[in-house]
Copies of this chain bind each other. A is one copy, B any other.
């Protein structure tokens, strides 16, 4: 009888431990992904194209509102260079969710708010957007933005 009781307890203990490790592992991945998105936020606010590129996968796709989808590092770099020439961003991202869905894939959703300055005129306007990121962990173990779509949540100005 003693053994019968002991074995399930040992199994339950192991399972609880395994669950703890799995959760801790996911939390650790989520923390890494949050750091990537914080780097992206700071790169946007610094108009720093190369810092932006550091968080993108080489075969990433950037889907900016009012422009066609930009596929691959060369086109993504050109798009951000153009955007940073036109505008200066001062925004904060608020994460709505970060979800790992495979060992090397995750997605994240956020809302951002702040101000956009039109560089040509110095005119400022309010900005509020929603973002959907698909992220992939590369062979070095670093999470990168693989696909990224966003849009304004503000009503059209016209």
Interface residues of A (CB under 8 A from B): 61, 63-69, 96, 101-102, 105, 107, 109, 111, 130-132, 134, 147-158
How near does chain B come to A133, taking the closest CB pair, in angstroms? 9
Number of copies of this kind of chain in the complex? 2
| Contact A107 to B69, CB < 8 A, known contacts A102-B102, A158-B158 | no
**Closest partner residue, chain B, to A63 (CB atom):** B130
Q: Is the CB of B64 within 8 A of A151?
A: yes
The answer, among B61, B96, B105, B158, for a CB contact under 8 Å with A105, is B105
CA A64 – CA B152 in complex, angstroms? 9
CA A155 – CA B86 in complex, angstroms? 14
CA A38 – CA B27 in complex, angstroms? 36
Residues in B with CB closer than 8 Å to A134 are 107, 132, 134
Residues in B with CB closer than 8 Å to A63 are 109, 130, 132, 149, 151
Residues in B with CB closer than 8 Å to A149 are 63, 130-132, 149-151
